[in-house]
Amino acid sequence: MPKAAPSFGLILPPKDPGEPSYRWLYAALRLEILQGRLLPGARLPSTRDLAAQYGLARGTVVNAFEQLKSEGYIDGSLGSGTYVGKILPESLLQVAYRDIAKPAAERAAQTRRPATLSDYGRRAKLFRNYENRPTRAFRANLPALDLFPVALWTKITQRSLGRISTHQLMGGDPLGYLALRQAVAEYLKSRGVSCQPQQVMIVSGVQQALDLTARLLVNPGDRVCVENPGYSGAVQVFQALGAKIVAAGIDDQGISIRRLPSKAVRLIYVTPGHQFPLGTTMSLARRLALLEWARKSGAVIFEDDYDGEFRYAGRPIPALQGLDTSGAVIYAGSFSKVLFPSLRLGYLVIPSHLLPHFEAIQSLTCRHAPLLEQLALTAFINEGHFGRHLRHMRQVYAERLSVLLEETRRRLAGLLEIRGVEAGLQTVGWLQDGLAAEAAALAAAKRNVQVTPLARVSQGSALPGRAFPGGAGLEALQLGFAAVEAKEIRRGVRELAIALEGERKASA
């Protein structure tokens, strides 16, 4: 029979069901040491005594001691006695570790003085774009995801993975998978983009494209021009980098050149194909004037062709990039609107002289886009599925748009007006008769209709030099139609009519 062990006073907390016994004992002993209840130099009971005292298997105690030893908490060897190590600074024991016994959740919530953020860190604000709600009238900026051929995509993904080489598992080129860059360059011909595959860089989407471009070109305090109203995701990137934002209004030709500074502009962000959010297509004359202005002012033009694939009337207007002969245009597009947003793939077309810099920044900040998606997308494009899906979606969206236009004419006359729509996944409804956008959106929401006041999607009055054509203000609503089925569009218009009628009566 073992003799009675000297009382040791270790408190063993309740054990987690899945936790190995030795880890449990180890953690309890470690805590005693870190909290100074077992002092440096103190002798521990023998493994045999400890096992007996706490009803543990001896192997459990041996393993716990081994672990503590390997981490430097205790010294000594079996047989010659085991001692608490003399390695812990006194100050630590008293100051920092008194809280280690608190539950992890509680400890995690604790903060010393919060870390000091960089200037960028203080300026960077959450860009709320993701909305995990069922699609209803008139959700904007979203394609009809229920029509995406998931089964086909699965088959192609499976095949791409089946053929993946060990080299491809290793990593990839910062600029992207060459075959995809070739496929993108070929595809972009139809959009009037003039480029070599080498100039195409694969990115995670327009958001990353904006960030990389702005980091590469813009110092804090530098001027960046944007459209007003315009895409707030871009403005937030520039603001976070400390750029001086200069906003110029939109007229029926596109961005108003006359108001732009004539020099020392680093970057201008434009949406010539389908102005976000107004929907204007930039005229040829304005495109040429913009290029001429860029030449003089030194600005690089960032052309965001975010939904250039969807045009329902007329033929697509070739990209600004294709008119440029001076290497002043960076062209960006994404697969979020044609395929699906959580794919996170897009592309940049970059003037040759800037390519090495984009390659460097990509290698430093994320290495490259994931390869599997790039392989699958390459096959999807090259086998013609991309073109087919795009044509199908164009047809579906054109039908949905015509339902929206017809219903709006029938039921919303005098309340809301939609002007010429030629492209995109959403359009703008201009409120009539003095109706206010915020109140209208609220009234619509009560009838389960989602419409966003234009001022909210566009930084509106937050920008200096708020310049809106004709003094009309932004009493308008963004109306998405691409992701909304015809039946739901009809319901949406009916409900919106009731909501707006109510608003008109209330304000009369």
Answer yes or no whether residue 404 interacts with a copy of itself by CB under 8 A: no
Token representation of residue 3: 């003799």
Answer yes or no whether residue 291 interacts with a copy of itself by CB under 8 A: yes
Cα separation, 302 vs 316, whole angstroms = 19
Cα separation, 67 vs 307, whole angstroms = 58
Contact 59, 47 (CB under 8 A): no
Question: Facing residues of 452 across strands?
Answer: 478
Question: With CB under 8 A, what is the number of residues at the site for a copy of itself?
Answer: 131
Residues in region 433-462 near a copy of itself by CB under 8 A: none
Phi-psi region of 141 (alpha: psi -120 to 50; beta: other; left: phi over 0): left
Residues in region 407-426 near a copy of itself by CB under 8 A: none
Answer yes or no whether residue 4 interacts with a copy of itself by CB under 8 A: no
Sign, CA dihedral 466-467-473-475, equals negative
Among 43, 367, 392, 446, binds a copy of itself (CB under 8 A): 367
Residues in region 195-234 near a copy of itself by CB under 8 A: 195-196, 199, 204-205, 207-208, 211, 215-219, 222, 233
Answer yes or no whether residue 468 interacts with a copy of itself by CB under 8 A: no
Among 6, 59, 327, 434, binds a copy of itself (CB under 8 A): 327
Could you tell me the smallest distance in angstroms from the CB atom of residue 387 to a copy of itself? 12
Token representation of residue 317: 């207007």
Binding mask 33-62 for a copy of itself (x = CB under 8 A): -x----------------------------
Could you tell me the smallest distance in angstroms from the CB atom of residue 250 to a copy of itself? 17
Answer yes or no whether residue 397 interacts with a copy of itself by CB under 8 A: no
Answer yes or no whether residue 315 interacts with a copy of itself by CB under 8 A: yes
Among 1, 17, 70, 77, binds a copy of itself (CB under 8 A): 70
Answer yes or no whether residue 378 interacts with a copy of itself by CB under 8 A: no
Geometric angle at alpha carbon 469, from 458 and 289, rounded to 5°: 90
Cα separation, 215 vs 406, whole angstroms = 45
Cα separation, 154 vs 492, whole angstroms = 34
Answer yes or no whether residue 262 interacts with a copy of itself by CB under 8 A: no
Could you tell me the smallest distance in angstroms from the CB atom of residue 174 to a copy of itself? 7
Q: What is the DSSP letter of 282?
A: P
Residues in region 172-191 near a copy of itself by CB under 8 A: 172-174
* Residue 458 neighbours by CB under 8 Å, 6+ apart: 228, 229, 230, 231, 232, 276, 277, 474
Report the residue number, 343 or 431, with the smaller CB distance to a copy of itself: 343
N-terminal to C-terminal alpha carbon distance within the chain:
97
3-state secondary structure of 264: coil
Report the residue number, 74 or 479, with the smaller CB distance to a copy of itself: 74
Answer yes or no whether residue 300 interacts with a copy of itself by CB under 8 A: yes
Cα separation, 163 vs 382, whole angstroms = 16
Could you tell me the smallest distance in angstroms from the CB atom of residue 156 to a copy of itself? 10
Answer yes or no whether residue 314 interacts with a copy of itself by CB under 8 A: yes
Could you tell me the smallest distance in angstroms from the CB atom of residue 503 to a copy of itself? 30
3-state secondary structure of 426: strand
DSSP codes joined into one string, 2-70:
PPPPPP--PPPPPPPTTS-HHHHHHHHHHHHHHTTSS-TTPEEPPHHHHHHHHT--HHHHHHHHHHHHH
Could you tell me the smallest distance in angstroms from the CB atom of residue 137 to a copy of itself? 16
Report the residue number, 308 or 429, with the smaller CB distance to a copy of itself: 308
Cα separation, 137 vs 479, whole angstroms = 8
CB atoms within 10 A of CB 62: 16
Among 7, 146, 258, 505, binds a copy of itself (CB under 8 A): 146
Could you tell me the smallest distance in angstroms from the CB atom of residue 26 to a copy of itself? 9
Report the residue number, 71 or 433, with the smaller CB distance to a copy of itself: 71
Q: What is the DSSP letter of 174?
A: T
Answer yes or no whether residue 499 interacts with a copy of itself by CB under 8 A: no
Answer yes or no whether residue 77 interacts with a copy of itself by CB under 8 A: no
CA nearest neighbour of 249 among 241, 258, 237, 240: 258
Contact 492, 138 (CB under 8 A): yes
Report the residue number, 324 or 475, with the smaller CB distance to a copy of itself: 324
Among 62, 372, 436, 467, binds a copy of itself (CB under 8 A): 372
- Among 162-170, 244-252, 425-433, 469-477, the segment contacting a copy of itself (CB under 8 A): 162-170
Contacts 24+ apart (CB under 8 A), 189-194: 190/316, 191/305, 191/308, 191/309, 191/316, 191/318, 191/319, 191/333, 192/316, 192/317, 192/318, 192/319, 192/321, 192/322, 193/318, 193/319, 193/321, 193/322, 193/331, 193/349, 194/321, 194/322
Q: Give the pairing type, strands 300-304 and 200-203.
A: unpaired
Residues in region 102-121 near a copy of itself by CB under 8 A: 104-105, 107-112, 114-121
Answer yes or no whether residue 237 interacts with a copy of itself by CB under 8 A: yes
Among 39, 43, 129, 438, binds a copy of itself (CB under 8 A): 129
Q: Give the pairing type, strands 81-84 and 74-77.
A: antiparallel
Among 66, 75, 417, 501, binds a copy of itself (CB under 8 A): 66
Residues in region 271-290 near a copy of itself by CB under 8 A: 283-285, 288-289
Report the residue number, 55 or 89, with the smaller CB distance to a copy of itself: 89
Report the residue number, 56 or 243, with the smaller CB distance to a copy of itself: 243
